[in-house]
Chain A
């Protein structure tokens, strides 16, 4: 089944403790992206990647890191989480700029709470 898989689904952590949220897609998509969703603010893009080893900042990149060493994986790293990063996070993938017809596929989300 074509899908984007995020782990974990739920995470409670303490301020300053480094964490990684994994994202993997099995559709050979070139483009991958991370979003956060907050009440009243909607979905905002954190980082995106056009292909392996190509990443760039979205609208709200502060406090986050990403890497794209393999086409299928795009982990989101919080080096020193803070309470304002408490949010619902989504990973998404798309075929790429030369093949957008199929749109975007989203993962099921990771609900992160930083205390």
Chain B
């Protein structure tokens, strides 16, 4: 059974820091991996999607990498801003199905 882990559960940093958020998964037979952002009480906003055949994806200050063989992904946030404060969720789509398995998320607080 696929398990997705995000450690730490929470992180508080000063504005301007470059951040690395970690995600690990136990079964490497994935279709893709997706990073989401969730603001309190709100829905999920897709940030980046990496197909199983890809190594990384970039969007603005965000860069996500995928190492399928070791079961790891990282989300890199450059020059963090208070507006980046949110919960970040990692999810993998299982190969052979459409099911998304989520990590429990990492709550990020960027202090001005």
Chain A interfacial positions (CB closer than 8 Å to B): 31, 33, 35, 40-43, 45, 48, 50, 58, 88, 90, 92, 94, 96-97, 100-109, 111
Give chain B nearest CB distance to A97 CB in angstroms. Answer: 6
Interface size on B, residues (CB 8 A): 23
Given A43-B89, A100-B31, A101-B49; A50-B98 close (CB under 8 Å): yes
Q: CA of A35 to CA of B38 in the docked complex: distance in angstroms?
A: 14
**A109 contacts which of B31, B42, B97, B99 (Cβ < 8 Å)?**
B42
Q: CA of A111 to CA of B41 in the docked complex: distance in angstroms?
A: 8
Comparing B11-19, B68-76, B102-110, the segment that makes contact with chain A is: B102-110
Chain B interfacial positions (CB closer than 8 Å to A): 31-32, 34, 36, 41-46, 49, 51, 89, 91, 93, 97-100, 102-105
B103 touches A45 (CB 8 A): no
22 contacts between A and B (CB under 8 A): A43-B91, A45-B100, A48-B98, A92-B100, A94-B98, A96-B98, A97-B98, A100-B93, A101-B49, A103-B34, A103-B46, A103-B93, A104-B91, A106-B36, A106-B43, A106-B45, A106-B46, A107-B43, A108-B43, A109-B41, A109-B42, A111-B41
